[in-house]
Amino acid sequence: MASILASGVPAGANDSIGHLSAGGITLARSADIEIRQEELRISMNEIRVRYRFFNKSDKAVDTLVAFPVPDLPSPSDVEFYTVPRPEHDNFLGFQTMVNGQSIDMRVERRAIALGVDHTDRLRELGLPLTPYAEATEEAIAALSPEVRHELAGLGVLREEEFSNALDGSMTIKHFPNWTMRSTYYWQQVFPSRNELLVEHRYVPSVGASAGTTIGSPDASPEMLAEYGRRYCLDDAFLSAAGRAQKSVQRREGATLMERRVAYILSTGAHWAGPIRDFRLIVDKGSDRNLVSLCGQNVKKISATSFEMRATDYWPEGNIELLILEPSEQ
């Protein structure tokens, strides 16, 4: 396992925004379909995956293919996540092509609160299912007080009390309190003894912190141990982060910021046998940024990109990127 980095630069950890982990497509386990090649490209702007499937059987395989989107919890004072397209049901901008042709996917969306499915009731009331959308808050505000009280009692809405700074009066406001669960899917025929090229792309949810203590004397051993486990921080990365901290400290108002991206790799483990040819390309965005992740035989291929290749590869776990980015000030 190794970390990878670029030319050094930025850090302290405070205001933090969480990220949602997505992955690749999946299908029912098949003894006939294998992945001959997978190319995975990860950056803060886009995740792109190209699969070359091969149906080694004498018959066509007709099966359901799905892309499980991460659950989207409602924002709160405790948790907040980056949502690339908060006003859209397709909040990651997910797109798929098969042999170069766009696929019209179906989507299943559900609204879950306290473990109970309230989708039908929300649709009956005309509420959008996307909890981060402004249109959702507006639709909630338009409900009658009785309906809002009903939904709050079911745990579907969250009640918060606000004080009026002018007269001290109290106002109760209601906010989404459900999780949107989504799955994109389509029916796909894998022709006998033939390859099928499937590509998909989406905008990742990128976690962020306004600063980081990595590379700073203030970094706690507990935090470094946790980050070391998740991102395989090594001495070279920590030294570069230390130099970056010193660099930003010389610039008034500048800081070293954290960016975090995760990809669920294990969704590719439903095929016949290992992936014959696996290629991962990570782009850290700028040659001033630092990046670390866990991987084998990672090598630099450009000023901002790193590559890992493997044959007969069994995907497991997550790929998690930690990017340290200097602020512009």
Task: Give helix then strand counts, H and E, for the chain.
Answer: 5, 21
Average pLDDT over the chain, rounded to an integer = 84
CA distance 33 to 65: 12
Q: What is the pLDDT of residues 208-232, one digit of tens each?
A: 888 888 998 888 899 999 999 999 9
SS3 at position 281? strand
Q: Which amino acid is at 171?
A: T
Q: What is the pLDDT of residues 291-309, one digit of tens each?
A: 999 988 899 999 999 999 9
Q: What is the pLDDT of residues 138-176, one digit of tens each?
A: 999 999 999 999 999 999 999 988 877 777 778 888 999
Residue 259 has pLDDT above 60, yes or no: yes
CA distance 136 to 88: 11
Higher-confidence residue of 66 and 152: namely 152
Half-sphere exposure of 132 (CA within 13 A, CB side): 19
Label residue 27 by pLDDT band (50, 70, 90).
low
Listing DSSP states for 23-73 in one string gives: E--EES--SSEEEEEEEEEE-SS-EEEEEEEEE-SSS-EEEEEEEEPPPBP
CB 55 within 8 A of CB 61: yes
DSSP 8-state class, residue 226 = H
pLDDT for 170:
80
CA dihedral 3, 4, 9, 12 (to 10 degrees): -30
